[in-house]
Structure 1
Amino acid sequence: MAATATATPGPKTGVRVHVQRFGTFLSNMIMPNIAAIIAWGLITAFFIPDGFTPNEKIATMVGPTIYYLLPILIAYTGGRIVHGTRGGVVGAMSVMGVIMATSDVLFVGADGGSPMFLGAMIMGPLTAWVVKQLDSLWEGKIKPGFEMLVDNFSAGIAAAAMAIGGMFLLAPVLRKVITWLGDGVDFLVDNDVLPFTSIVIEPAKVMFLNNAINHGVLTPLGIDEAAEQGKSILFLLEANPGPGLGLLLAYTFFGRGLARAAAPGAAIIQFFGGIHEVYFPFVLMKPKMILAPIAGGITGIFLLTIFDAGLRAPAAPGSIFAVYAQTPGDAGDYLGVTLGVFGAAAVSFAVAALLLKTDRSTDEGDLDHATAAMEQMKGKRSIASSVLASRDGEQIRSVVFACDAGMGSSAMGASVLRKKIHDAGHPEVTVVNMAIANLTDSFDLVVTHQDLTDRARLKTPSAIHVSVENFMGSPRYDEIVDLIDQTGAPSGTSATADPVTAGAAGDVLTRDSIVLGGTARSRDEAITEAGRLLVESGAVDASYVDAMQARESSVSTHMGNGLAIPHGTNEAKGAIRRTAISFVRYDEPIDWNGKPAEFVLGIAGAGNDHLALLSRIAEVFTDDQAVARLRAARTPEDVLATLDTVRV
């Protein structure tokens, strides 16, 4: 593989990775709720007494939204990440204790309360984790008919206890922490040293550590400050697009080679699109260039401080459009924000231009290599690859779809992707599937679920890695085909035969393992229902059902298109007596981590004899007419006939 597909940094270990993952977790709680935060900012800007169009009735939404709704949404999101919808509900309930403890009066905000964003980011996932542990204690031990009773009361009791605990134990601590952090920011402002936070923030951005700083500290404090003062400078410490713009403009005029050619397009995406990571490879390529965004950041914050400028709410993404959209209506704020952004860009440009013009090294730097290194730090594919990386001369000959166990998700994903690649006129490109544990660094391109990409990178550091979420219809598959088209397939070769040959569906799926009216009402119940069919058929030991639940807790087996295929972990293969598949159809789709699952197939693969049927199932679920026949099936024989009709 060419340099673009390699990444020199070693496996991601140590403190940086833990901070990175923690920051990503915080970001995953905040980012889905940015739209609600923006909505609050717009209502505040227009309808409070000092707004553009004051309206007393509409303005009544401002306080309850910032003090109640937004923390509850964040707590729900955090809980849902940990334990699905069930975790989201108990997380949302538990944060009420912290919210109500922020004020000495009944209605929060009337006497100096603080928006409990930090409390939400703690109580939401913590309560969900507690309920998840409780659920695991009696999972499979409740007599039929009592599951709903136990589930509801256990979750309710736990949520109530956590809410009370949060009120009396966590809330007092958080109020002190918020006070200390606020005092720290005031100290930085009063002593004119706030601009120097860029010395930390800009390198942290390039190392992908900014989420922990931004979403863990700056956003909660900024919202608290904006609730009191109508704006906060903290929203622009990290999101200011000026420093990156200046750096990229300097490369546009004074760079060399690929870096100079790629910089103009990157500048447009960074400044107008708000995707700051496109400038990170330009720093990694020449590490001394970090001085430019640091200088620009210091200048921008200094100007913002002089003009007392700030934003109403976070600018996410950090686009100039988002920045102006969150700027308060006062002309002074627009002036201050404009000077803060373009002043930062000017200084960053000047420093970067000086560094580039005085650079006497003959090595112009490898932008492709720097992009790959950046992705290695980030742990997943970056938009910078499509903007910056050259793929000239690369040929993709072998593709592998990898999952945890290699028995279900990867087989179906590989089947869909193989057909797309071969139908596009590249029969010579091999597409196989396997468990991540069995990967070797010999594949040109590796496709994994987005939650498994980090593990796959450790096994195949030289490959191109593509992350997907929807196994059956991911748009990334078309991007892979386009990439193969662009790089050119090797001529004069023939593809390795597909790893399976199609047999009859009844070989691994029997009529006794087909249920056309599933009774489960939740994801976990559906997994248990599909697993019990495998146990009753004698295909697996009872412990395999626990392994199916464990597999789901790490990576979702929802394939897309209404299909889920729960299966055990790689370590649970010893509990499989023979290969088998169970089939359950639900009249009311199951909520599978926020996605509907109408068909649930339990999988136990002892060898490779089930892969042919999985390939056929993948074909079925990309065929609307075949899915309609499964939906209309009245007998197990109808299901088997539909699966036998489609050939791979």
Structure 2
Amino acid sequence: MAQSKVKVAVQKFGNFLSSMVMPNIGAFIAWGLITALFIPDGFFPNESLASLVGPMVTYLLPLLIGYTGGKLIHDQRGGVVGAIATMGVIVGAPDTPMFLGAMVVGPLAAFLIKRFDKVIEGKIRSGFEMLVNNFSAGIIGGALAVLAFLGIGPAVQSFTQVLVVGVDWLLDMGLLPLTSLLIEPAKILFLNNAVNHGVLTPIGLEQVQNAGRSVLFLLEANPGPGLGVLLAFMIFGKGMARQSASGASIIHFFGGIHEIYFPYVLMKPMLLISVILGGMSGVFTLVLLGGGLGAPASPGSIIAITAVTPPNGMVYFANYAAIFVATSVSFIISAIVLKTGKQVDEDMDVATKKMEQMKGKKSSVSSQFISTGLQADQVNKIVFACDAGMGSSAMGASLLRKKVKEAGLDVKVTNTAISNIPADAEIVITQEELTQRAQNKIPNAYHISVDNFLSSPEYDKLIENLQNGTSTDQSEGDEISEEPTIEENNDMLLEENIFINQEFKTKEEAIRFAGAVLVKAGYVEESYVDAMIEREEMTSTYMGNNVAIPHGTEEAKKAVIKSGFTVIQVPNGVDFNGEETKLIFGIAGKDGTHLDILSSIAVICSEQENVDRMIQAKTVKELKALINSK
């Protein structure tokens, strides 16, 4: 148990380190390309444009890392304070690119401002929130910048120099190839990004400053060891493994998705020897011939490696030779393993399942788990997100919360606006059109796209995955309370706000009708109606089962006076982006007071039979009674 906890802690720490660098890889590549093109030894030497190189590596890249690290801890506010503190280590150690320093002070600053915010939560007088927030960020950030300038920057500079000296010693002693003993198995354990971007990249960038390139960028990114395994399966494999190896090799070599060969190695654990010796031979070739890259290659494809190779014929030769040698050695050993070992057609499926059991995630062929490092038994929080966080996400969260409770899982399910997704969300569920925004907001979460919040099959798949990864039941003290009935919140849904037998030509006409009802009832200001139309243009509020829940945008929350609903029955239907809607719930939500009612409606509408009865209701009283009876 202790070893398992240590393994999980190491994995989370490694993933956190890489998460500070990975979102900014584009900036690293931009810097590498500008360096390769315009420095005196570049493709197109240009003294004026080459002046970009120094400031980018000294200021831009560390500030991006510090901001990203802070944002991971405490969202935008943490990112800003993290960037302020990072400026302290940059100026405090001007001779060393402060990538490691940014990785330290960015999250540290965000952690401190997060603790401060918790201490003052609920204690600020109305009207003084902005004043306190801005000055607290400025004071804490400024103080940490001074501390970083005086102490952290020089300390990190000394530590970085020790690491560089250590790498140089390994190079001088010819021992750098031995790192493959750790790196190649770590890749199979999904620590590839953590090793590459969390450890090797900061040290490699320091080497680039002195030598113009670094061999460290190719220790993990070399596609040769994995390619050798896949080529061996193409020739000597059997069954599904042989059939799929050719496609996998293309994705691996040209796409840079190394994870795709992991199941093939797990199929035959002896193949670990192949990738280790392949990696060692590749590193030896790089050291012997003087290879290296000018910037991180991400992903580790031949295309990315070529793009960031310094413009030197011998360096190109060295890098390609290292890939070729690693591929050849890995291929030869893999061929021997496959020819001398027993193979059965089911091996591929067995290996994939083994990987899922080992890591609590699907392989790269069929799931996003591979890129997130998420394990089912580590899931504590699931977040439904929509634009405003008041409508579709609340209904989806209610339904999944009910399923989680029934399954006996100890997992928290919440909903929020996309802009407010918490940094500790492990699983994020959104409508398909909003998934990209959610991924940009929190790239390291496991993202699920649904097109029907009321009856998506993804809910049951997720519950099954979670059950396979955890058996912890909720304690009695954590029981989720029964949802309140409409009668218990009778000021939110009044009979005069329920309409039956309505006809609309367009969804805009229907939404404006619902908005006018909310305005007349005193729930919202008139500007909220236009915000409902704007929200619908972002992505449809159709929920499935002939139900739509139009509501305003996140910015329109200030136009909400108090929480309220309107229910509109449209027996002949109205088109919502190709979906026939017969029951419309117009929503205005303030301070979350509407969520209990919305949860009840979600549970009711998750069954088509209940929706059909409400559509067939003949009177307002009957429709309200049907809602409340469930």
Give the TM-score taking structure 1 as reference length.
Answer: 0.65
Q: Is the Cα–Cα contact under 8 Å of residues 410 and 434 in structure 1 kept in the other structure?
A: no
Unaligned runs of 5+ in 1: 1-9, 104-112, 390-400, 419-430, 442-448, 455-466, 484-498, 520-559, 564-580, 591-597, 620-640
Conserved? CA contact 2:239–2:344, under 8 Å:
no
Give SS of 2:402's match.
Answer: strand
AA at the equivalent of 2:350: H
For this pair of structures, how many residues does the alignment match?
480
Offset of 1:26 from its aligned partner? 1.4
CA–CA distance in structure 2, aligned partners of residues 70 and 356 of structure 1: 45
Question: CA deviation digits over 1:141-165, x for unaligned, max 9?
Answer: 1111111111111111100111111
Q: Give 1:27's aligned amino acid.
A: S
Match of 2:202 among 220, 231, 234: 220
TM-fit CA distance, 1:318 = 0.6
1:77 aligned onto 2:68: yes
Deviation, 1:615, is 7.9
Residues 384, 394 of structure 2: 8 Å contact kept = no
> What is the alpha-carbon distance in structure 1 between the residues aligned to residue 229 and residue 243 of structure 2?
14
2:294 match: secondary structure = coil
Percentage of pairs with the same residue: 43
CA contact (8 A) 1:379 1:453 kept: no
**Alpha-carbon separation, structure 2, partners of 1:160 and 1:353:** 60
Q: 1:55 to 1:368 in 2, by over 3 A?
A: same
TM-fit CA distance, 1:611: 3.2
**Partner-residue secondary structure (3-state), 2:366:** helix
Contact 1:284 1:374 in 2 (8 A): yes
Alignment-derived partner of residue 127 in structure 2: 145
* Residue 348 (structure 2) aligns with: 367
SS of corresponding position for 1:314: coil
Shift of 1:265: 1.3
Give the drift of 1:295.
0.9
C-alpha distance in 2, partners of 1:184/1:134?
39
CA distance in 2, matches of 1:281, 1:273: 17
**Which amino acid letter does the alignment assign opposite residue 62 of structure 1?**
V
**1:211-360 equivalent positions in 2, closer than 5 A:** 211-359=193-341
Whether the 8 Å contact between 1:80 and 1:88 is mirrored in structure 2 is yes
Corresponding residue number in structure 2 for 1:21? 12
Cα deviation for residue 602 of structure 1 reads 4.8
Per the TM alignment, residue 261 of structure 1 is displaced from its structure 2 partner at its CA by 1.7
- Determine if the alignment matches structure 1 residue 54 to structure 2 residue 45: yes
Q: Provide the C-alpha distance between the structure 1 equivalents of 2:557 and 2:48, rounded to a whole number of angstroms.
A: 40
Q: Taking structure 2 as the reference length, what is the TM-score of the superposition?
A: 0.67
Quick check: 1:414–1:433 contact (8 Å CA) kept in 2? no
Deviations 1:12-40 (A, max 9, x none): 93222111111111121111100011010
Aligned amino acid, residue 283 of structure 1: V
Counterpart of 1:80, as a letter, is K
Letter in 1 for 2:599: H
Q: Is the 8 A contact 2:485 2:597 kept in 1?
A: no
- Give the structure 2 partner of residue 34 of structure 1: 25
From 599, 616, 623, the equivalent of 1:610 is 599
- Which range moves more in the overlay, 285-294 or 600-609? 600-609
SS at match of 2:71: helix
Q: CA separation of 1:478/1:276 partners in 2, compared to 1, >3 Å: closer, same or farther?
A: farther
Question: Does the 8 Å CA contact 1:403/1:435 hold for their aligned counterparts?
Answer: no
CA contact (8 A) 1:293 1:348 kept: yes
Specify the code of the residue in structure 1 equivalent to 2:407. L
- The alpha carbon displacement at 1:439 in A equals 2.4
Determine which structure has greater relative contact order: mean sequence separation of CA pairs < 8 Å that are 6+ residues apart, divided by chain length. 1
Q: Against the structure 1 CA distance between its residues 68 and 402, is the aligned structure 2 distance closer, same or farther, given a 3 Å change threshold?
A: closer
Q: How much does 1:381 deviate?
A: 3.9
1:604-643 equivalences in 2 (<5 Å)? 610-612=599-601
Distance (whole Å) between structure 1 residues aligned to residue 40 and residue 588 of structure 2: 53
2:54 maps to 1:63: yes
> Per the alignment, do residues 153 and 297 of structure 1 end up closer, same or farther by CA in structure 2, a change over 3 Å counting?
same
Q: Name the counterpart of 1:160.
A: 142
In 2, are the aligned partners of 1:46 and 1:53 still within 8 Å (CA)? Answer: yes
Q: CA deviation at 1:215?
A: 2.1
Work out which of the residue numbers 402, 414, 423 in structure 2 matches 1:434: 402
Task: Give deviations 1:502-561, integer Å, cap 9, x for gaps.
Answer: 989985845799455999xxxxxxxxxxxxxxxxxxxxxxxxxxxxxxxxxxxxxxxx95
Structure 2 vs 1, CA of residues 362 and 283 (structure 1 numbering), >3 Å: closer, same or farther?
A: closer
Partner of 1:548: none
Q: Aligned partners of 2:356 and 2:391: how far apart in 1?
A: 26
**1:302-353 deviation line (CA, Å, top 9, x unaligned):** 1111110100100001111001111111110110011011111111000000
2:293 maps to amino acid:
L
> Which residue of the partner structure matches residue 383 of structure 1?
364
- Residue 370 of structure 1, CA deviation: 2.2
Q: Distance in 1 between matches of 2:527 and 2:78?
A: 23
Q: Indicate if the aligned counterparts of 1:199 and 1:294 stay in contact, CA closer than 8 A.
A: yes
Please identify the structure whose Cα radius of gyration is greater. 2
Which whole-Å CA distance do the structure 2 matches of 1:378 and 1:410 have between them? 35
Separation in 2, partners of 1:249, 1:147:
62
1:43 counterpart (31, 34, 43) = 34
CA distance in 2, matches of 1:517, 1:121: 47
- Change in Cα spacing, 1:585 to 1:266, as seen in structure 2 (3 Å) is closer
1:90-129 alignment to 2 at 5 Å? 90-103=81-94, 113-129=95-111
Which amino acid counterpart does residue 357 of structure 1 have in structure 2?
K
Question: What do the CA deviations read for 1:217-271 (whole angstroms, capped 9, x no partner)?
Answer: 2000111111221111000000001110000111111112221122111111111
Identify if the C-alpha distance between structure 1 residues 204 and 402 changes in structure 2 by more than 3 Å, giving closer, same or farther. closer
Cα deviation, 1:85-104, whole Å, max 9, x if unaligned, reads 1111110010111111113x
The question of whether the paired residues in 2 share the 8 Å contact of 1:71 and 1:116 is answered with yes
Q: Go from structure 1 to structure 2 and tell me whether the alpha carbon gap of 1:305 and 1:586 turns closer, same or farther (over 3 Å shift).
A: closer
Cα-Cα RMSD: 4.6
Maintained 8 Å contact 2:267/2:351: yes
